[in-house]
Structure 1
Amino acid sequence: MKETVNTDAAPEAVGAYSQAATNGELVFTAGQIALTPDGDLRADAPIAEQTEQALDNLLAVLAEAGAKPTDVLKTTVFLADIDDFEEMNEAYAGYFEESPPARSAVEAGALPKGAGVEIEAVATLE
């Protein structure tokens, strides 16, 4: 049975979607950008800071669903500019030091609200 996940510890959805959805075994998050829970957009911040904010949001949504960083199976990172990969990767590594998940990183033509990075995840609740 599908359930939606929502938390005030991450920015509310800015469209017709939920922060995450779960079937009780897996959690699928929406992409998170450098938008604070209060709605302040940090799109002009360096990519490392944008990555940290996106991951803070992502982990808050996962925590609401009952998942920890070690429960993340896969992430997808969308970059407005693939040349920002190294800076994003350095910030990202600090969030998944133990048993990092599988990951894809791709350059996207444009991201919501002019963000430099967007990150989504799939995690297990088992």
Structure 2
Amino acid sequence: MPKKIIFTDKAPAPIGPYSQAVMINDMLYVSGQIALKEAETGDVKSEARQVMENIGHILTAAGLTYAHIVKSSIFLKKMDDFALVNEVYGAYFENEPPARETVQVAKLPKDVNVEISVIAVI
């Protein structure tokens, strides 16, 4: 099965040589999403909310929902923000949340506070 590039203008366009998402063999790989405008305020909860909305728009473009997500990766500038991001993130998964890891990193693109990538399955 050939890969299919997923793109929506409702989420930020890639800022480098990558796709918003790629679908292959009933799996959707969503590139790490950041919140560009919200990053200017430094409010990690606003950033996390916008990131999750970006992911939602990409899922919709692929014909999927948050319920299709089986794995996510969260990258934080500061692990001290874990509880705040977790609060926002958890609101998108009422039942059966996906597998996940959360790691602190030295720096993120555009100096944002949080980046999230996901894998979803049809």
TM range, smaller chain? over 0.9
1:42 to 38, 42, 53: 38
Please say if 1:104 is aligned against 2:101. yes
CA-CA distance at 1:98 after TM superposition: 1.6
Identity fraction in percent: 38
In the TM superposition, what are the counterparts of 1:87-102 in structure 2 within 5 Å?
87-102=84-99
Q: SS where residue 12 of structure 2 aligns?
A: coil
Runs of 4+ aligned residues of structure 1 deviating over 2 Å after TM superposition are: none
What does residue 26 of structure 2 align with?
25
Q: CA deviation at 1:42?
A: 1.4
Distance 1:34 1:96 in 2: 20
Higher share in strand: 2
Cα RMSD over matched residues? 0.9
Across the two proteins, how many residue pairs are aligned to each other?
120
Residue correspondence of structure 1 range 1-126 to structure 2 within 5 A: 1-35=2-36, 41-43=37-39, 44-125=41-122
SS in 2 for 1:97: coil
Counterpart-to-counterpart distance in 1, 2:70 and 2:117 = 11
Counterparts of 1:69 and 1:98, CA distance in 2:
10
CA distance in 1 between partners of 2:106 and 2:92 (Å): 26
- TM-fit CA distance, 1:9: 1.0
Deviations 1:86-109 (Å, cap 9, x if unpaired)? Answer: 000011110111211111100011
- Consecutive unaligned residues of structure 1, counting only runs of 5 or more, are 36-40
Deviation at 1:67, TM superposition (A): 1.2
SS in 1 for 2:38: coil
